[in-house]
Each structure stands twice: as C-alpha cells, then as structure tokens.
Structure 1
Amino acid sequence: MPDVSPGAEGTQDASREAPRAPARGGANRSIATRLIMVAALWSLVALLVTGFVLVTLYREASEREFDARLDVYLKAIIGEMAAGTPSSPAVPGNLGDPRFDLPASGWYWMVMQAETGEVLFSSESLLGDRLELPQPEPGEVLKSVIGGPRSAELRALQRTIIFGEAAAYRIAVAGDTDELRERESDFAGQVALTLLVLGLGLVGAIFLQVRVGLRPLATLSASLAAVRRGDAQTVDEDLPPELRPLAVELNALVRSNREVVERARTHVGNLAHALKTPLSVIVNEVRGQDAPFAGKVGEQAELMRSQVNHHLERARMAAQRRVIGVSCDVEPVLARLIRAMSRIHRDRDLDISLDMKSQVRFRGEEQDLEEMAGNLIDNACKWASSRVRVSVAPQGEGATAERVVVTIEDDGPGLGAQERAEALKRGRRLDETVPGTGLGLSIVVDLAGLYGGDLSLSKARTGGLAARLVLPAL
C-alpha cells in the first residue's frame, strides 16, 4: 500500500493558528463607516435643532408683527373715539382696512363698557355678534388667542381706557391667524428644504473628508501587505506624523523577527553539529562488531540520530514559519514538480495533470511547499494506475483567500478507512514492497501543522487515494 506515514502529533502542533473569534456587534465595521455615521448623526441632530430654532424664531417674529398691526388698529379706534365726549365717545369709522366691513372676514373690533361689558360699537364684520374675551387688568394691554365666528382662531389685542374721570371703555381688535399659520408653514417648508440640501452637502463633504483623511492608513496597510508578501523588506515610513511612529515600530518588529529567526537557525546548526558528531563516533565504534550489546548500541544510536534530525528539522521549520514577508506562487512550484515527476515515472506513462482556476500565493517558504507537495505527488505516482490529478482551489470569505487547498488524487487501489487511519501513524508503512522509509507524509504533516494547516486522506473520485493539503494563503 502507499508510503504514507505522517505523525499524528504534527496535527496538534502548538504553533497552529488560532481560529478567528466572531465579530461582536459592530466591531467589524470600518473606521471610515463609523466616522461617517457619527458625523452624519451629529449633523442630523444639529440641523433638526437649527430648523426648530429658526421656525420658532420666525413664529415669534410673525406674532410680534401681527400684534403690532393689531396695536395700530387699536390706537386708531382710540383716536377716533377721543373725537367725542367722555360720556359719549365718537363712533370709530373706517380704519383703513376693508376687511373690518366684510361679514365674517376674520378681522373684528369691538368697544364695550368696562364695568358692565355692554357692547357699544363693533365692526360690520361681526354682524351684531360679540367676541368672548378675557378680562384685562386696568391699564394692561392683553394679548390672547380666542375662538371667533365660524370656529375660527383669532389673535386678539384689548385694552381698557378711561375718558374723563368715570367713563371706562374696553377696546378689542382681533384678526384671523390662518394667514399667520400659513406663512409659518411656508417658512418651515423652505427651512426644511434648505437644511435637507445643506445636510446632504455636509454628508458628502464628511465622506470626502474621511476618505481623504484615512488614505494614509490605506497606504500603510498596502505597504505592510507588501512586506508580508515578500515584495518589500520594510514598511514605507513616508507617512503623516501621526502614523510615522507606527511604521517605525513595525519595521523594528520585522527586523527583530528576522534577527530571532537567524539566531534560532544558528543555534539549530550548532546543536545539530554537537549531537551528530558523538552519535557518528558511537555508530562507527560499534560497526563491524558481532556482540549483541554492540548491535543494540548501534541500533539505538541510529534511532537517536533519526530522532535528532527529525526534531532539529522541526525547529528549523518552526523558525521559518514565523518569518514575516515570506510567500511564493503556488502554480510554478506545482508545475515544476509535475514535470519532475513525469520524468521520474516516464516508464509508467502516467497522465499527471494540474487543475488551477485562479492564482494563489502560499504564505511560507517555497522549498517547504515543494517538500510537502513533492512527497504527496510522488506517493500518488507510486500507486496510480494511469492518472494523477493535482487541483488547487482558494478557500476563504469574500474576495481574499485565507487558505489554499491542494488536492492530489490517484486512480490506484486506495486505502480503506482503517488503513487511512493507520497510515497517519508515524513511520507506518502498509506495504513493504514499495521503496520508502515511511517518513514522507510525516514531513508533510509536520510542515503543514507548523504553518497552521493540515493534511487529510480520503477516497478519491477515481477510486484511489485523495490527499487534501490545507495551507495559509495570501
């Protein structure tokens, strides 16, 4: 059966990326959207308050102007009455407004005895009716809103005057407020339209301001993405003063990360040299000796050397995994591997195809991708009857791929469910007739785990074995 033997512990490596926590509430809303929403809400509140204040001020000004007109008519009536005697005042004539002569026109005046309330004179527009008025204080000019004929709302102005020593008269002038309310309504509509246009203009200006103001953040993001992809070595520090310290700190972090990786690689090399030499000496000393003790020592020394090589390689891969700005294109690597495997297995005339609908970048070392994909493709070629299919597909939300899935399928005998589980045990070989050490897929699982990915085996659509490799992508 296939030379499949990954270690299960690789799939549980501590360096695997933690799953992303779901966003709570509006935590995933962009800064630009938040700024625009807050500014738009504040502008809406400010414009509503402004509109209310403007309409209120206009209403008060209109009422003062209306009362001033009533006061003119009131003084005109007093002036005409003064033409008579205190006990027999003159009848007011034309006040200069024909509406006082039109029946139920909405404009009325009335003269009454202050003590008895008896109506002495009234405008022709009242048609002998009378206005129900509140009682003013002596010398007070009373303003009030009353009901008039035909249930009209009237704004009235009345005053008590004294002719001579004993003759007191109440004089009232009232006008219909329909005209006043209509003017207020027209003004409120004009204010609403004006503020609406102003509000739309403010929102547009806020949108442009936020977009222009946050553009340096987009520049910083693009520069950081270029470093992560490996297209640049440092983050561009040509930014506004508010963002330049952040770019400087990011560059310091990148440099520190690279220094840590280089130190780790140096220590790994030193440790490898320090351990391999004594083990080689032990193996050489017991080689050629027939004693059981020597054989057991040689066997265990070889096992120790294999384990040291394995774990040192894991340490090297872990260091590479944490390098910022390392990535490679997937298609050239797989195409190169397929050409190599076609030459290696040319005597079997295998059909090895690559199905890749979109370009994807692997976020990691190119040689690591070659090692993982190479082991899987080579394993598939060993057991395929005539065809091996390699497919690549991006995996992620939206337009940005968060993972790349590489699937290698063959049309060989395949493995059962129990055999696939056995194959995922370190150093396990299910068929000794095929060359191999049983460590090929162990390397794949270890590398995939260090990159936060994984490897799984299943039944292929062609009946053979399907290996599904999931890796981080850009």
Structure 2
Amino acid sequence: MPEAQATKRRRSGKRALSTRLITVAAIWSVLALAVAGVVLVALYREDSERSFDARLDVYVKAIVGEMAAGTPQEPVEPGNLGEPRFDLPASGWYWSVTNARSGEMIYASQSLFGDRLDLPPLSGPGDLRSTISGPRGGELRLLQRKIIFGEGVAYLIAVAGDAAELQARVATFAGRVALTLFVLGLGLVAAIFLQVRIGLRPLAALSASLAAVRQGDAEAVDEDLPPELAPLAVELNALVRSNREVVERSRTHVGNLAHALKTPLSVIVNEARGHPGPFADKVSEQAVLMRTQVDHHLERARMAAQRRVIGAATEVEPVLARLIRAMSKIYRDRDLDFALEVTGAPRFRGEEHDLEELAGNLIDNACKWARGRVRVEAGLEPDGNARQTLVIQVIDDGPGLSPEECAEALQRGRRLDETVPGTGLGLSIVVDLARLYGGSFTLEPAPSGGLCARLVLPALDDAVRPQRHG
C-alpha cells in the first residue's frame, strides 16, 4: 500500500511538471502580449493625437492666412477652410476669432450657430492645447493661438474638433490589436503545449522503459535517449545490475547458511537415534524442531531477498494450474473435485517460486480439510490507489472455522487439529511472505460453507480477458 501511494505521488508529480511548464510559459506569454498590446495602443493614441493636433494647426494657419488679406482693424472673415463640417450646425467642428483684449467674438464658424466656445484663458505666448466641453455637450480637442496684427491689435484664434472621432479611431485600433494578440496568444499557448509534450516525450520513453524492466519485459533500460537523459538511463541500468548482484549474493549466503546449519543438526539427530533413551529422544525432538525453525527463518530471509528483485513478473494461471494438477495426484485417494477460475490474464509482481509457495500452502491446506471440492479463484481488483492488486481465493467445503479460530490459525506453529499432519508453519509463512510483498492474507468463512483463504498481492496492470477453467 505505501508503495502504491508513492507511485501515485510520482505519477502526479510528473503530470504537475508538464502542467507547471505549460502554465508558467502560457502566463508569461499572455502577460507579454498584454503589455505589448497596451504599448501599441498607447503609441497609436499618441500618434493619432499628434495627427489630430496637426490638422487643427492647419486650420488655424488657414484662418490666419485669410484674415491677413485685410487690415489689422478689419481682417477678412475666413471661409469654410475646406471642411464642410464647419458650416453644419452642431457638427462638432468649430472655430472662432475673438478680440484678445475685449473678448468680443469677431468671427465664428456657422457650426456654432450662435453659441460660443468655452475657451480657457491663454497666458503667455505660444499655443494652448486642451480638451473642453462642446456647446451641445461632448468632448472637443482645442487648439488656441494668439495672433498679433500690426499696431498691437491681437486676436485669439480657436479651432476645436470632435474628440469622439479620435477616441473612436483609437478604440477601433485597440479592438483589432486585442483580436490579433488573442489569436496570436492562442497560437503561442498551443505551440507551448506541443513544445512541452514533445520535449517531455523522452522522459515518457524512459519511464516506459523502466516500467518494462520492473515488469520483467526487458532486462535493461533503453539508453538510446537524448544526451541529457542518457546518463540517467546508464545509472539506472547500473542500479538494476547492482540490485540483482546483491540479491544473488544474499541467496548464496542463505543457501550456505542452510547447509552449514542442517549438516550439524543431521549429525545430532543421527547420533541421538543411535543411542536410544529418553535423553536421545528429547535431543532428537528438539533438533527436529530447530531444523523446522531454521528452515522457516531461512525461507523468510530468502523471500525478503527475492522481494527486492527488480523486474520479477510471473504469470498466475500456469502456476495455479500446475499446483492443482500436483495436488490432484497427491490427494487422489480423497477423490477431490478441483475447480480453477482465472479472470483476465493477471501477472504477479514477484518471483514464480514465491507464488508457488503462497498458493501451494493454501491449496494444500484446503485439500486437507475439504470434504469433496476445492475451488481456486484469481483475478485483478483495484486497491483504491489507481493500481491493480492480484486477489487469489482458495475455497473448500470443509467444516470451516469461526472468526476466533481463523485468527488463531494464522499464528506461527499453531495447529487446531493435531490429527492432521503438518508443522503448523504453512499459513504463517503465507502471512509473512504476503506482508513482505506489501499484500495481505485473511481467513474467513465461505458463503457456501467451509473456509475461504483470501490472498492479496501486488500485480502488474494488464488488459482483462475473462478465462474460465474447471
């Protein structure tokens, strides 16, 4: 279970890596495009205002030119200046000429239609550019200039244009820029997504290669990767080789220890049998017990070593079918009816010998107690952590056990019925080995009577195909 949770965290971490890369790049691109859009609109607004003011300046110069055709006291009244809107009432385009001293309006465009521009005071030489409210509402952009004709006669010339035109142009440009940058942003996000996916593809290939090694489908990780990942693949292969060497050395040491202990025990037993008597019988009894315990603990050490082998995988169905054939021959005098049902094609994430040890103990125990039928079921079930587990159930039609007796039967060396041959270590070995693999083993009453031994082990995720044997 802890291993499954760790694997889930690793998988979610991988997804988070690609998500973080895409999210950060997308946010940066959107911000950059937004800033670029604001800058472009600001530059366009500034250029449009400059162009609008230059247009107003042309009209002021045209008014001055026409007025200069007369005398300083009686300047010539300007015409429409080539802009028809100066002749349309309340068109938004206005001009006026007022006396700088008295403030009397001398001339005005027909568009004012008797109204007057609300001109701000002009202090000092030079032009005054400002924004004012028009006679009928609305915003006007104003250019005001003081012109001095001969003998100190001064006039204030004001030309105002509808600022809504300027704002409309800027708004239109801003909308086009926003649409263009939006499309460009979508394209950039899509390109970023593809770049991250393609860029992380070698990592996915490395993960798949490592998974193949872990599942026993390959001997080594594929090292044909980009230069950035190739050293990692080399180190992983070195780790796999080192793991196998350590396990092999552990097996060798366990085997040597087994031989080193069994030989003296055999000598003690033989010597005791050669000298009959109570003392010899006691020595022989304890030596046999010591051999049983040595076998148990050596087997557990061997199982712990094998549990850590990388790349071990075992097909479940052939092992169970072979065990049933062996048990049918061993218990042929009992005339037992065996049934095997395997759902899908499950694979045990461990070594074949361990699966034989686990299932063999359960089937053998069921054969000892069954009245006439032993049923073996195997299949995959989810474990709640996005992984599959291998579930093996061995069901017999024997007398069964109560819940208290089920718990007692799993204790090491405990035998509920001394008339049935055995050491009482078989089920405890199953419990220990199942725990070493991160699984579990339970005994419970079978729904149809008898006993159900349920074994949960780690599995390799494969496609499920229903298969039945019986």
Same fold (TM over 0.5): yes
Q: Hey, what's the Cα distance between the residues in 2 that align with 1:278 and 1:320?
A: 27
**Is the partner of 1:30 in helix, strand or coil?**
helix
Superposed CA deviations along residues 103-137 of structure 1, whole A, max 9, x for unmatched, are: 00000001112233222211100011111122223
Are residue 356 (structure 1) and residue 342 (structure 2) matched? yes
**What amino acid sits opposite 1:316 in the alignment?**
R
Equivalent position of 1:72 in the other structure: 58
Q: CA separation of 1:406/1:416 partners in 2, compared to 1, >3 Å: closer, same or farther?
A: same
**Is the partner of 2:5 in helix, strand or coil?**
coil
Equivalent position of 1:253 in the other structure: 239
Structure 1: runs of 5 or more not aligned = 1-15
Deviation at 1:397, TM superposition (A): 6.2
Work out whether residues 80 and 109 of structure 2, in 8 Å CA contact, stay in contact via their aligned partners in 1.
Answer: no
Work out whether residues 138 and 160 of structure 1, in 8 Å CA contact, stay in contact via their aligned partners in 2.
Answer: no
Are residue 278 (structure 1) and residue 260 (structure 2) matched? no
What is the aligned length?
458
Q: 2:169 pairs with 161, 183, 188, which one?
A: 183
**What amino acid sits opposite 1:258 in the alignment?**
R
Equivalent position of 2:219 in the other structure: 233
Are residue 20 (structure 1) and residue 15 (structure 2) matched? no
Work out whether residues 5 and 385 of structure 2, in 8 Å CA contact, stay in contact via their aligned partners in 1.
Answer: no
Q: Hey, what's the Cα distance between the residues in 2 that align with 1:62 and 1:469?
A: 81
Q: Hey, what's the Cα distance between the residues in 1 that align with 2:154 and 2:262?
A: 127
Alignment of 1:266-345 (within 5 A): 266-345=252-331
Alignment of 1:106-117 (within 5 A): 106-117=92-103
Q: 1:371 pairs with 350, 354, 357, which one?
A: 357
Q: CA separation of 1:344/1:304 partners in 2, compared to 1, >3 Å: closer, same or farther?
A: closer
**What amino acid sits opposite 1:20 in the alignment?**
Q
Work out whether residues 93 and 162 of structure 2, in 8 Å CA contact, stay in contact via their aligned partners in 1.
Answer: yes
Are residue 222 (structure 1) and residue 202 (structure 2) matched? no
**Is the partner of 1:395 in helix, strand or coil?**
strand
**Is the partner of 1:324 in helix, strand or coil?**
coil
Give the number of the structure with larger relative contact order, counting CA–CA contacts within 8 Å between residues 6 or more apart. Answer: 1
Q: Hey, what's the Cα distance between the residues in 2 that align with 1:344 and 1:272?
A: 27
Equivalent position of 1:11 in the other structure: none
RMSD of equivalent CA atoms: 2.2
Equivalent position of 1:465 in the other structure: 451
Equivalent position of 2:463 in the other structure: none
Q: CA separation of 1:133/1:351 partners in 2, compared to 1, >3 Å: closer, same or farther?
A: farther
Equivalent position of 2:466 in the other structure: none
Work out whether residues 230 and 325 of structure 1, in 8 Å CA contact, stay in contact via their aligned partners in 2.
Answer: yes
Superposed CA deviations along residues 208-261 of structure 1, whole A, max 9, x for unmatched, are: 211111111111111111111112111111111100110111011111111111
Alignment of 1:97-176 (within 5 A): 97-176=83-162
Q: CA separation of 1:307/1:349 partners in 2, compared to 1, >3 Å: closer, same or farther?
A: closer
Equivalent position of 1:12 in the other structure: none
Equivalent position of 1:197 in the other structure: 183
Identity %: 71
- TM-score normalised over the length of structure 2: 0.92
- TM-score normalised over the length of structure 1: 0.91
Q: CA separation of 1:263/1:450 partners in 2, compared to 1, >3 Å: closer, same or farther?
A: same
Deviation at 1:154, TM superposition (A): 0.8
Q: CA separation of 1:47/1:351 partners in 2, compared to 1, >3 Å: closer, same or farther?
A: farther
Q: Hey, what's the Cα distance between the residues in 2 that align with 1:197 and 1:379?
A: 71
Q: Hey, what's the Cα distance between the residues in 1 that align with 2:126 and 2:327?
A: 111
Deviation at 1:398, TM superposition (A): 8.4
Are residue 396 (structure 1) and residue 421 (structure 2) matched? no
**What amino acid sits opposite 2:117 in the alignment?**
L
Q: CA separation of 1:354/1:181 partners in 2, compared to 1, >3 Å: closer, same or farther?
A: farther
Superposed CA deviations along residues 267-317 of structure 1, whole A, max 9, x for unmatched, are: 112222222222222222221434433332222222222211211111111
Q: 1:44 pairs with 11, 30, 40, which one?
A: 30
Q: Hey, what's the Cα distance between the residues in 2 that align with 1:347 and 1:283?
A: 33
Q: Hey, what's the Cα distance between the residues in 2 that align with 1:69 and 1:86?
A: 26
Q: Hey, what's the Cα distance between the residues in 2 that align with 1:136 and 1:360?
A: 94
